[in-house]
């Protein structure tokens, strides 16, 4: 685990510095290497590499084949003991066990330390990959025949092209190339050039141009994080009319060593992959922006990636995207054994503590019907979801983190955490974790993703079209491993707002935002989309298309708004009004999820770190992951 300790080399504002002293849990005394200047700086501004926050997020871990990823994980497991200065394992022992040279082990170590990402250990493509190995004269014949014979309006087949090349080689007394070599060379031709030469400019434009649209054990902090969901025992109200809209769900991440709460996510959406990913992201990120947003002046010093996260066996914790994202950051996933609820005691005790506090709020549902008795939970409800977020954060940083706990030797979680960081007479301190420098990469790494082909009208996902000029060069692309099939590309999306999806370019590993094909469409959630689709499927005469979907969403929202107004004026139809208020409140919380304008690279570039709590800690960071072959999003039942 990378940490910040006295005497360690780090980077501050792209300058190499030496850490002289750690003051408390938030500041460090440093000396610059170049100018010998001494500064007191926030610990969160120090990084392991000079890249810092300017590094572009990338996603090699998503594009890697399973076989290549297994190799990278094997390399990581080999060098993992070397990353722990107290392990006692030497490079020589690792090299002997791996049957590799010492220089190879050092090279893997350096590559991993530069980024902190397992994807840095993926096999490096050969420098001569794609280069021709043919004799120069044979190469000249092949290229000439492709230009003069194959790229013609008569459109001869590749088989005839190979026959022509073989005849030319025989005439020149040269060995002909293999048939597969010629076929591979044709597959590498620029798609637009080939179509223009063989079919004409008009055909190339019609076929390839985008259509113009309307628009281990818990021995130290962050060693093990426990994560779980629970309904919150209180009814919340909407922001506008202060009417009850139901119980939220809470996803919590707690550090098993110090009992510090690393992060939480409270939402009216169904608990699932999205909330799990958001919670993990908040736990890894720094909390300064999250606290500033709520005007809370108390420390919440725990951040950084965990060595292992402990989860139950729920399906939202078993998706491929969540597993691959955790692999990328070197986070081991361990699932609770079935029938052993006591295997996660820390998170369970924390839930009991928190629900005991929540049950003192107006509008509580208590823990069971007997305790509730005649209490009118909905009638007494008065707190909005954002107010509950602020209340819960305040309780965590002012009370829970400062309450002594018996299993911590009578210390409070924050005192125990501080002792672990600085050390005591019995054991040295582990230092403070290095922060994640690339928040956007972390955010996108836990997003749901799907695989789709790219057509002239862009991309179709759940009957909705998306388009952007950045897709142009990949239109009608063939699968490089099977030219008979169309190539599928990875697209990530936030289920809470599907107005923008993110295209992962396979060449530069960069995410590009792709908006609706028709920009006049409103932003909707995946749950609204599926509700509209279910409504249309119930009508045998209805035909599901994009116009019908958005018309269905528009009508449902209109009905909801009318129900809200009727509830406000006449206090009638309370059940229907509550549902409408609940969905309106959700939409308000989904605003501003997407980064506008510029592409977002998602391959391994910067440290496995991430910063302030806002991008993941706020309601902005999408989470979770859904794939075409592994849908993990839960559909709302209401």
Residue 332, domain CATH: 3.30.420.10
Statement to judge: residues 236 and 372 lie in one domain: yes
Instruction: Specify the 3-state DSSP secondary structure of 20.
Output: strand
pLDDT of residue 571: 52
Contact 582, 638 (CB under 8 A): yes
CATH number at residue 172: 1.10.10.60
Alpha carbon distance 628, 125 (integer Å): 28
Which sign does the torsion angle of CA 133, 136, 140, 141 carry?
A: negative
pTM: 0.60
Does residue 57 fall inside a structural domain?
no
The tokens for 103 are 């220089």
pLDDT of residue 46: 83
What tens digit of pLDDT does each residue of 155-204 get?
889 898 889 888 888 888 888 888 888 888 888 888 888 888 888 877 87
Statement to judge: residues 200 and 232 lie in one domain: no
Domain end (from 413, 435, 457): 435
Statement to judge: residues 43 and 185 lie in one domain: no
Nearest to 434 by CA among 289, 604, 611: 611
Does residue 259 fall inside a structural domain?
yes
Which sign does the torsion angle of CA 139, 142, 148, 153 carry?
A: negative
Does residue 307 fall inside a structural domain?
yes
Does residue 351 fall inside a structural domain?
yes
Domain end (from 435, 467, 492): 435
Does residue 624 fall inside a structural domain?
no
Does residue 394 fall inside a structural domain?
yes
The tokens for 36 are 């010998």
Statement to judge: residues 195 and 247 lie in one domain: no
Q: Tell me which residue range forms the domain holding 168.
A: 138-208
Largest CA distance in the chain: 99
Statement to judge: residues 18 and 103 lie in one domain: no
Statement to judge: residues 411 and 463 lie in one domain: no
H-helix or E-strand spanning residue 219:
none
The CA angle 395-432-391, to the nearest 5 degrees, is: 10
Statement to judge: residues 424 and 447 lie in one domain: no
Alpha carbon distance 359, 117 (integer Å): 42
CATH number at residue 38: 2.30.30
Query: Which class for 95: exposed (0-12), middle (13-18), buried (19 or more C-beta within 10 A)?
Result: middle
pLDDT of residue 604: 45
The CA angle 519-525-529, to the nearest 5 degrees, is: 85
For the chain, the first-to-last Cα distance in angstroms comes to 43
pLDDT of residue 564: 62
Statement to judge: residues 266 and 200 lie in one domain: no
The domain tally of the chain equals 5
Does residue 457 fall inside a structural domain?
yes
Statement to judge: residues 102 and 194 lie in one domain: no
Statement to judge: residues 367 and 464 lie in one domain: no
Statement to judge: residues 38 and 163 lie in one domain: no
Domain end (from 435, 461, 494): 435
Name, in order, each residue with C-beta under 8 angstroms of 455's C-beta and a sequence gap of 6 or more. Answer: 475, 476
Contact 279, 263 (CB under 8 A): yes
Q: Which residue numbers in the chain have pLDDT < 50?
A: 52-54, 212-215, 339-343, 572-573, 603-638
pLDDT of residue 600: 57
The tokens for 529 are 């989309």
Which sign does the torsion angle of CA 351, 357, 363, 367 carry?
A: positive
The tokens for 561 are 């708004």
Statement to judge: residues 176 and 145 lie in one domain: yes
Query: Which class for 298: exposed (0-12), middle (13-18), buried (19 or more C-beta within 10 A)?
Result: middle
CB atoms within 10 A of CB 569: 8
Does residue 215 fall inside a structural domain?
no
């Amino acid at each position: 685990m990378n940490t910040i300790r006295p005497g360690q080399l780090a980077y501050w504002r792209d300058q190499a510095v030496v850490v002289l002293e750690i003051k408390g849990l938030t500041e460090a005394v440093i000396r610059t290497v170049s100018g010998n200047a001494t500064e007191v700086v926030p610990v969160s501004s120090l990084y392991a590499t000079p890249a810092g926050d300017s590094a572009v997020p990338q996603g090699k871990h998503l594009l890697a084949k399973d076989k290549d990823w297994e190799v990278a994980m094997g390399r990581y497991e080999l060098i993992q003991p070397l990353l722990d200065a107290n392990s006692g394992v030497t490079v020589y022992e690792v090299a002997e066990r791996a049957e590799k040279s010492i220089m190879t082990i050092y090279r893997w170590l350096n590559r991993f330390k530069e980024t902190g990402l397992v994807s840095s250990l993926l096999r490096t493509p050969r420098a001569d990959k794609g280069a021709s190995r043919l004799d120069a004269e044979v190469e000249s014949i092949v290229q000439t025949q492709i230009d003069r014979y194959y790229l013609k309006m008569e459109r001869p087949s590749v088989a005839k092209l190979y026959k022509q090349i073989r005849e030319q080689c025989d005439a020149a007394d040269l060995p002909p190339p293999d048939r597969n070599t010629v076929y591979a060379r044709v597959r590498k031709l620029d798609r637009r050039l080939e179509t223009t030469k063989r079919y004409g400019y008009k055909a190339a434009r019609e076929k390839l141009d985008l259509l113009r649209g309307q628009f281990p054990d818990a021995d130290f902090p962050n060693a093990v994080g426990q994560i779980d969901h629970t309904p919150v025992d209180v009814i919340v109200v909407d922001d506008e009319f202060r009417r009850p809209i139901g119980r939220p769900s809470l996803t919590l991440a707690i550090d098993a060593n110090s009992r510090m709460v690393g992060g939480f996510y409270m939402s009216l959406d169904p608990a699932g992959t999205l909330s799990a990913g958001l919670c993990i992201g908040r736990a890894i990120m720094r909390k300064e922006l999250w606290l500033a947003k709520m005007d809370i002046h108390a420390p919440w010093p725990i951040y950084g990636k965990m060595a292992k996260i402990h989860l139950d066996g729920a399906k939202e914790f078993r998706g491929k995207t969540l597993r691959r994202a955790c692999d990328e950051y070197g986070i081991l996933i361990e699932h609770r054994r079935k029938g052993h609820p006591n295997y996660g005691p820390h998170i369970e005790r924390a839930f009991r503590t928190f629900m005991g506090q929540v049950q003192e709020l107006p509008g509580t549902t208590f823990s069971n019907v007997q305790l509730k008795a005649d209490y009118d939970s909905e009638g007494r409800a008065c707190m909005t979801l954002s107010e509950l977020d602020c209340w819960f954060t305040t309780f965590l940083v002012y009370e829970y983190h400062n309450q002594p706990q018996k299993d911590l030797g009578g210390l409070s979680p924050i005192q125990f955490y501080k002792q672990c960081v600085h050390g005591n007479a019995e054991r040295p301190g582990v230092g403070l974790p290095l922060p994640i420098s690339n928040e956007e990469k972390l955010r996108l790494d836990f997003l749901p993703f799907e695989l789709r082909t790219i057509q002239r009208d862009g991309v179709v996902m759940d009957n909705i079209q998306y388009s952007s000029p950045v897709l142009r060069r990949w239109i009608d692309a063939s699968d490089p491993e099977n030219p008979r099939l169309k190539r599928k590309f990875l697209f990530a999306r936030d289920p809470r707002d599907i107005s923008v999806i993110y295209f992962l370019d396979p060449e530069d590993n960069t995410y590009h935002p792709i908006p609706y094909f028709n920009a006049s469409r409103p932003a909707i959630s995946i749950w609204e989309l599926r509700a509209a689709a279910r409504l249309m499927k119930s009508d045998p005469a209805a035909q599901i298309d994009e116009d019908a979907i958005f018309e269905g969403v528009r009508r449902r929202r209109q009905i909801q708004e009318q129900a809200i107004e009727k509830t406000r004026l006449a206090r009638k139809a309370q059940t229907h009004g509550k549902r409408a208020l609940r969905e309106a409140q959700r939409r308000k919380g989904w605003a501003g999820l997407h980064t506008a304008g510029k592409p977002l690279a998602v391959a391994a570039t910067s440290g496995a770190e991430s910063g302030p709590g806002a991008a993941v800690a706020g309601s902005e960071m999408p989470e979770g992951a859904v794939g075409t072959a592994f849908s993990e999003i839960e559909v709302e039942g209401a």
